[in-house]
Structure 1
Amino acid sequence: MAAWLTPNRPTLFAALALASATALAQQPARQDLNQLKLTVEQFLQSQVAGMAGQVSVAVGPIDQRMSLASCPQPQAFFMPGARAWGKTTVGVRCASPSAWTVYIQANVSVQADYVASAVPLAQGQPIEATQLAMVRGDLTTLPAGVATDVGQVIGRSSNVSLAAGTPLRLDTLRSKPVVQSGQLVKLVSGNASFRVSSEARAVATASEGQMVAVRTANGSQVTGIARAGGLVEVAF
């Protein structure tokens, strides 16, 4: 009787193997994490296409213990305020068949030439070409708005004194004055129908496009827009 109740060992092993295989087959496929890394890299490469300089993209490591359901079309995206510049974060999400979202660290570097001071620069003094140097470096590690062409800098002046080797930021440079305080200027006023010109004396120094006050021959003071060539425009 005992022998009749004992299952056949080969049959038992076969049944267990079949059950195990069936359970494995029923488990959902897992997402290839290397594919996520490639998705982020391709996304960042598309974001920096056409950018000046030598651009390189490095995607950070992904935790290999992470388990995600397989996604046929994972989509990369930026969080609000993020961009392909320096250290950044890229999101990758799946909508179907299983919804999930992960965030992956990356770094985008841009090797290019930028303008720096070759010698100490005094505050308010016009900058000359001999005072500048082109330096190669990673723009993503520098302050925003660094000049990349000496033409953007020559003739302008710094708001503060700068040490040699300082990257020149455009937002800290004043444009070359087109009107100097005390200068005799041509005051042009009028509208689309007529224009009248007269002489006046500038009360302050101004760059192209800035508002400047001038005093007319009869002693009255008016304000206009400074233009190259010692002109001040007043619209009515």
Structure 2
Amino acid sequence: MNFHCPSHLLRTVCGVFWLLLLTPMLSFAQSPLHSALDDYLRTQTQGLPGTVTYSIGQLNARAQLSECSAFEPFLPAGGRLWGKSTVGVRCLGPSNWTIYVPVSVNVTGNYLITARALPTGYLLTASDIIVRSGDLSSLPASIVTDQSQAIGKTVKNRLPAGQPLRSDQLLAPWAVQQGQSVKTVSKGPGFSVSSEGIALTNAVAGQIVQVRTASGQLINGIARPGGVVEVSH
């Protein structure tokens, strides 16, 4: 907003005018509601990678809020504290109302880009990626921020040089492959039994894989690195 005082005589009036304009902003920034939002954002963004800064926007000028002694901030369904977002606040008493306040969460940290063009099916090594630093909140949510999340994985589709790496562009290596001899480990309360079998499907670590045991029985288990299939009872 631009405002110009036309003469020296009106400066005092202008000063009062600006004070009236700023008072709602100052009162919100110093209010218990603002403090509750600040505490919520500080707590909820602690686990984000990199350096986090955030800001709280202004209330809708038309919002008429009745007295409230306890606030409950929350993230609306489908919301995410990443970039420009919105946080809801419920009044828990004595009034009963809900408002939504715009917020901005910026995260500065490391992310990975491709050092060269990579063909489909390429197995990533440390020399194929470069670490960059920037505003992660301006990048896709699936951006890869650590080399351990990329090295040893294969590229789904061809990637150009300088492309920020996303986790959905990479495939984890097979922990178990179809036709491979595997070691099945059955665990239960107070016992652990291992045997041999043949994997009937491919699976990355953590996925379900079907195995045919030496006796011909078909069992399902969780694939683990090293050709191990964990069967729980």
TM interval, shorter chain, is: 0.5 to 0.7
Counterpart of 2:147, as a letter, is V
1:42 to 38, 41, 44: 38
Using a 3 Å threshold, how does the CA distance of structure 1 residues 129 and 221 change in structure 2: closer, same or farther? farther
Counterpart-to-counterpart distance in 1, 2:59 and 2:192: 69
Q: How much has 1:97 moved relative to structure 2?
A: 8.5
SS in 2 for 1:121: coil
1:197 to 186, 195, 205: 195
Counterpart-to-counterpart distance in 2, 1:67 and 1:203: 62
Counterpart of 2:85, as a letter, is T
Using a 3 Å threshold, how does the CA distance of structure 1 residues 79 and 205 change in structure 2: closer, same or farther? closer
Q: Which range is displaced more, 81-90 or 95-104?
A: 95-104
Residue deviations 1:26-70 (CA, integer Å, cap 9, x gap): xxxxx843232451662433432454322122333556x658578
Using a 3 Å threshold, how does the CA distance of structure 1 residues 109 and 235 change in structure 2: closer, same or farther? closer
Q: How much has 1:131 moved relative to structure 2?
A: 0.8
Kept in 1: contact 2:72–2:91 (CA 8 A): no
- State the match for 1:174 in structure 2: 171
Counterpart-to-counterpart distance in 2, 1:161 and 1:187: 35
- State the match for 2:153 in structure 1: 156
Percent identity for Structure 1 against Structure 2:
36
Q: How much has 1:175 moved relative to structure 2?
A: 1.7
Is residue 2:139 matched to residue 1:147?
no
- State the match for 1:7 in structure 2: none
TM-score relative to the length of structure 1 = 0.63
Q: How much has 1:230 moved relative to structure 2?
A: 2.7
- State the match for 1:135 in structure 2: 132
Is residue 2:56 matched to residue 1:59?
yes
SS in 1 for 2:137: helix
Using a 3 Å threshold, how does the CA distance of structure 1 residues 174 and 223 change in structure 2: closer, same or farther? farther
1:111 to 100, 108, 111: 108
2:182 to 186, 203, 218: 186
Counterpart-to-counterpart distance in 2, 1:61 and 1:94: 17
Using a 3 Å threshold, how does the CA distance of structure 1 residues 119 and 181 change in structure 2: closer, same or farther? farther
- State the match for 1:78 in structure 2: 74
Aligned length: 202
Q: Which range is displaced more, 148-157 or 45-54?
A: 45-54
